[in-house]
Amino acid sequence: MALFLVELEFKGEVKDKASFEQKVSALQENLHGDELIEVQVSKGFSRAFFIIESDNQEKLEATLKEKDYQVALVKEVRIVGQDLEKVKKQKDKINYLVEWNLPENLTMDQYLNRKKTNSVHYAEVPEVTFSRTYVCEDMSKCLCFYDAPDEDAVIRAREAVKAPIDAITEINSDKE
């Protein structure tokens, strides 16, 4: 089984917690043996990020297309910084997601070494807690999850670990 990042755009069709929960339930019902590991949605419910465990990317994409979801991205990912079983239990709090479009020449080994070397610098910004990263296996992008008091604190944490930011999304923490 592999992990897949699925990014959906709602284009105004989801405006509140109840309609978002309906979308998640509908998706979950149609996964047919695949497991929904994690769901994060932006404030305002315009974008959602799903981590799905599946043995077949084509089947997953066909399910999404068949149900007419507005799919922005489906990519195989690996989790870095946290154990998958802990994520499945959904105990930690996150409220910011940082997207970084990785440089073309960066390999997974280089990325992992860089992360290991630079992660100690998160201690310089104690008000921010790094949770986990999902790195696309094709090395095109990564998503990093944080708990922070505000966007500026996330920016300071990313500067401390010498990691760029292509986008920051505030996560709706009242989605459950």
For the chain, the structural domain boundaries read 2-170
Domain 2-170: CATH superfamily is ORF SCO4226, nickel-binding ferredoxin-like monomer (3.30.70.3090)
The sign of the torsion formed by the CA atoms of 133, 97, 167, 54 equals positive
Say how far apart CA 176 and CA 169 lie, in whole Å. Answer: 18
pLDDT of the residue at 174: 64
Q: Which two tokens stand for residue 112?
A: 């992992």
CA distances from 114 to 1, 8, 109, 120, 123 (A): 27, 30, 8, 11, 16
Say how far apart CA 30 and CA 36 lie, in whole Å. Answer: 11
Say how far apart CA 5 and CA 76 lie, in whole Å. Answer: 6
Say how far apart CA 148 and CA 20 lie, in whole Å. Answer: 24
Whether the pLDDT of residue 36 is over 50: the answer is: yes
Helix (H) or strand (E) holding 52: strand 47-54
What is the band of 176 on the pLDDT scale with cuts at 50, 70, 90? very low
With tokens 């790195």, the residue in question is 135
Could you give the 3-state DSSP secondary structure of residue 41?
Answer: strand
pLDDT in tens, 47-97: 999 999 999 999 999 888 887 788 999 999 999 988 888 888 876 788 999
